[in-house]
Amino acid sequence: MRLYRWLSDFHGSTKGVALAIGNFDGFHVGHQAVISCMQEKARKMGLETAVLIFEPQPMEFFGRKVPARLFNIRDKLRVFRAFGIDNVFCISFNKKFADLNDEEFVKVLKEQMDVKSVTVGTPFNFGKGGAYSFENLAMRCQEQGIECSSVGKVEEQGVRISSTLIRGLVEQGDFVTVQKYLGRPYSISGRVVHGNAIGRTLGFPTANINLNRRICPLKGVYAVRVTCPFGVFNGVANVGYRPTITIETLHSLLEVHILNFSGDLYGKEIEVAFKHKIRDEMKFSGLDQLVKQIAADKDRAQYLLSLDNPILV
């Protein structure tokens, strides 16, 4: 899989490109339907597959009711790779791009990305002020000789599957329903960074991941499964601002205490799958109370995870 952060780095394709456009935050079954449609077009037309995403996401750029991020760019790239995407265009979303009209947008697809087929989900709006719809896209694509398709909403028992729906379920800790709508457990991946080692001094060493997103839908303590270079392990994770031991910061941190594990994970990539919510984040009166609660959280996580898979306990 090839990643392009600048369109000028892409020098065309000998086959041409079948493109899917979207935020793909969380990569739920609706997103997967868009990707599958695009891939089918690529097979029929003999094209390379590609996805177009933006950083920041458009709603983050405009700053209006910024939603919590289910996925950061690392998580998106992980699932794109798993789905066999050939090319990912991750383009900076700025005022110039936001102000394109429908004709200019489609010319970018044709002239700078070698697009022969484009697939989007519904509803789909783009261009200055979001004034343009799929109908505008289809008309301009026809003018440029580009095949254009849309994929209708995907529903489960009459409920439209969307990133907004899944954010709410993650915030509630309903990871069973989240897994059904994603087709896999909700997880976050990242590279383990050095922390302040307070967990180690308390007897509960943690692997720390900077979440690198403005707003995270997770906040609290969770029973998790951790996949790392040494295998798959149970764990208990805290996501938040550590109010007992630090001054609250603007960015939350994912800290994972991996059960029955000893090894050096610094600099290594791990994936943390969220299985159960144990409790909300709390501020304790002191470290003694914190240690007691962590021990209780560890026992609770072990019990909950044993219900899912006794082999890993």
Q: How far apart are CA 52 and CA 19, in angstroms?
A: 7
Give yes or no for residue 245 having a pLDDT over 70. Answer: no
Please write the tens of the pLDDT for every residue from 79-106: 999 999 999 999 888 888 888 899 999 9
Shared domain check, 202 and 130: no
Give percent above pLDDT 70 in the chain: 90
Task: Give the CATH number for residue 55.
Answer: 3.40.50.620
Shared domain check, 151 and 223: no
pLDDT of res. 83 = 95
Shared domain check, 144 and 62: yes
Shared domain check, 225 and 135: no
Q: How confident is the model at residue 198 (pLDDT cuts 50, 70, 90)?
A: low
Shared domain check, 155 and 199: no
In a domain, 48, yes or no: yes
Encoded tokens for 61: 């750029």
Please write the tens of the pLDDT for every residue from 31-69: 999 999 999 999 999 999 999 999 888 777 777 677 888
Shared domain check, 222 and 142: no
pLDDT of res. 92 = 87
In a domain, 268, yes or no: yes
Shared domain check, 146 and 29: yes
Shared domain check, 206 and 129: no
In a domain, 166, yes or no: no
Task: Give the CATH number for residue 211.
Answer: 2.40.30.30
| CA nearest neighbour of 220 among 172, 281, 296, 277 | 281
Distances (CA, A) of 200 to 195, 239, 279, 281: 10, 17, 22, 19
Q: How confident is the model at residue 203 (pLDDT cuts 50, 70, 90)?
A: low
- Domain hosting 139: range is 2-160
Candidate from 2-6, 144-148, 269-273, 290-294 with smallest mean pLDDT: 290-294
In a domain, 248, yes or no: yes
Answer with the one of 160, 194, 223 that is the final residue of a domain. 160
pTM of the predicted model, to two decimals? 0.86
Give yes or no for residue 19 having a pLDDT over 70. Answer: yes
In a domain, 300, yes or no: yes
Give yes or no for residue 290 having a pLDDT over 90. Answer: no
Shared domain check, 72 and 193: no
Give percent above pLDDT 90 in the chain: 59
Answer with the one of 126, 160, 194 that is the final residue of a domain. 160
Shared domain check, 117 and 197: no
Shared domain check, 234 and 116: no
Q: How far apart are CA 66 and CA 91, in angstroms?
A: 19
In a domain, 107, yes or no: yes
pLDDT of res. 14 = 81
Average pLDDT, the chain: 88
Please write the tens of the pLDDT for every residue from 219-228: 999 999 999 9
In a domain, 173, yes or no: no
Answer with the one of 144, 160, 176 that is the final residue of a domain. 160
In a domain, 180, yes or no: no
Q: How many domains does the chain have?
A: 2
Give yes or no for residue 313 having a pLDDT over 90. Answer: no
Shared domain check, 26 and 80: yes
Give yes or no for residue 195 having a pLDDT over 60. Answer: yes
Please write the tens of the pLDDT for every residue from 117-153: 999 998 898 887 778 899 999 999 999 999 999 999 8
pLDDT of res. 311 = 57
- The full 3-state SS of the chain, as one line of letters, equals CEEECCHHHCCCCCCCEEEEECCCCCCCHHHHHHHHHHHHHHHHHCCEEEEEEEECCHHHHHCCCCCCCCCCHHHHHHHHHHCCCCEEEEEECCHHHHCCCHHHHHHHHHHHHCEEEEEEECCCEECHHHCEEHHHHHHHHHHCCCEEEEECCCEECCEECCHHHHHHHHHHCCHHHHHHHHCCCCEEEEECECCCCHHHHCCCCCEEEECCCCCCCCCEEEEEEEEECCEEEEEEEEEECCCCCCCCCCCCEEEEEECCCCCCCCCCEEEEEEEEEEECCCCCCCHHHHHHHHHHHHHHHHHHHHHHCHHHC
